Amino acid sequence: MRTVEEELARTGGEIREAADRRRRPPWRKPVHRTVVRVATATLAAVALIAAIGIPALWLRDSNSPLVEVASTPPDGFGTWETMADAPISSRPHAVSVWTGTEAIFWAGSSLSRGFAYTDGAAYDPLTGTWRSIPVPGWGHPGLSGVYLDGELYALAKGGGTRFNPSDGTWTDLPTVEGMFLAATVATDEAVWGLGSVSVNPGGQTDVAIARFDRQGNDWVYGPVFEGTPATGSLFENVLLIDQPALWTGAEIVLWNPEGGGAAFNPTTATWQQIPAPETGSGALVTTKAAVANSELVVIAEINNDNENNIAIARYREGTWTWQDLDILIADLDEVTVATAGDWILLFAPDQAPIILHVPSGEWTQDTDAPLAGVQAPNTVWTGDRLIVWGGASTPTESNPSLASGAIWTPPNG
């Protein structure tokens, strides 16, 4: 596995200062969350089912036959309320973050990412009001952003910017040398940029990662995940905006829509490959990944008897567990996946939103939702409600005037 120094030395770059920084003590250890193995949970669940008759869900472990696991169905599927119109025009692919009091939406682009918006606004869900925010005067169709410790960070190409909403100031970030930034993720204590370093002599893409050192106002480079013939297809499409970098609470995950991924552990500064789940039934068409309550969840489009439906796979301590669902979606590639605690919401063009409770596998297609048919909306989870704004939509006969935004509150939220 090559380091960034070796990669850039091979391509003629210089990052000697970055190498000196890497000899300093590493970043602090993030919070880890314990996940119970499926087998252990199954034994307890079977006993519980026998004792009190809780409804059960059939799960398929990739290495075992179907097993019965107890689950508690949700008490309903939540409620919707529409939002006031924003002071900026609706658009997909905006940088969207939650500050603790406001949802910020900045920049964005067309569906094709042919151009970039430059304006932004913040929404306060307690008052139901918007405010315009100062902007740096530029945007990029490939921006990705996160929020950490009072600031919004947005990265694209070789650099980025950070925004302090309390005083309205923007500060340019230093250039990231030798890598093309394609994804941004905030762990418990740091902001990371990920991107391709180069195409190596074997024809595979190498993926680099760098942590932003806020005190030193510079980037600290981690090890490169070196592409090999075995992982050649893994990163062919992995560094895409619609397949973002994910933080599970322990690892940073990059996922390939064709299945499989790679995880970086900030504590050990090491990469590991995540195997693609084997489908419980049918042929795998494509996938998207999300994190629901610190658990990696893959939404998979499966073809069964010439009909495509949705299944989900949950990754627990190196084992995939499948939940076969009967959700019908025409094209998962066009779907926006939003996570909200134990819930996943799927927004597809020309369809009402689908609301899925991950632990139980219960779901509904909410035809009464005010956002039916919206494509690529921007979503922000506040911890108790999901703010959904913007995107692109075409009014339908059943929904002649689509709202620009709506708030979903889970049951008992």
Instruction: Name residues whose C-beta falls within 8 Å of residue 188's C-beta, 6 or more positions apart in sequence.
Output: 30, 31, 249
- Number of domains, the chain: 1
How far is residue 364's CA from residue 378's CA, in Å, rounded to a whole number? Answer: 21
8 A C-beta contact, residue 219 and residue 193: yes
> Residue 125: inside a domain, yes or no?
no
> 110 falls in which pLDDT band (50, 70, 90)?
confident
Q: What are phi and psi of 333, to 5 degrees?
A: -60, -30
> What is the structure's pLDDT at 17?
36
Instruction: Name residues whose C-beta falls within 8 Å of residue 238's C-beta, 6 or more positions apart in sequence.
Output: 207, 254, 255, 256, 261, 262
> What is the structure's pLDDT at 201?
54
How far is residue 162's CA from residue 168's CA, in Å, rounded to a whole number? Answer: 10
> Residue 57: inside a domain, yes or no?
yes
> 59 falls in which pLDDT band (50, 70, 90)?
very low
pLDDT digits (tens, 9 = 90+) for 3-51: 444 444 443 333 333 333 322 223 322 222 222 223 333 333 333 333 3
Strand partners, 69: 57
How far is residue 381's CA from residue 371's CA, in Å, rounded to a whole number? Answer: 16
Q: Which domain holds residue 278?
A: 31-89+244-413
> Residue 216: inside a domain, yes or no?
no
Instruction: Name residues whose C-beta falls within 8 Å of residue 406's C-beta, 6 or more positions apart in sequence.
Output: 80, 81, 82, 83, 369, 370, 371, 388
How far is residue 127's CA from residue 114's CA, in Å, rounded to a whole number? Answer: 35
Containing 39, the helix (H) or strand (E) segment is helix 38-52
> Residue 197: inside a domain, yes or no?
no
Q: Taking residues 199-209, what's their average pLDDT?
A: 70
The percentage of residues in the chain with a pLDDT greater than 70, rounded to a whole number, is 74
> Residue 180: inside a domain, yes or no?
no
Q: What are phi and psi of 135, to 5 degrees?
A: -125, 160
pLDDT digits (tens, 9 = 90+) for 252-282: 999 888 878 889 999 999 999 898 888 767 8
How far is residue 359's CA from residue 321's CA, in Å, rounded to a whole number? Answer: 12
> Residue 214: inside a domain, yes or no?
no
> Residue 72: inside a domain, yes or no?
yes
Pair of tokens at residue 49: 């089912």
pLDDT digits (tens, 9 = 90+) for 306-356: 788 899 999 987 889 988 888 988 889 899 999 999 999 999 988 899 999
CATH number at 366 reads: 2.120.10
> 170 falls in which pLDDT band (50, 70, 90)?
very high
> What is the structure's pLDDT at 195?
87
> Residue 190: inside a domain, yes or no?
no
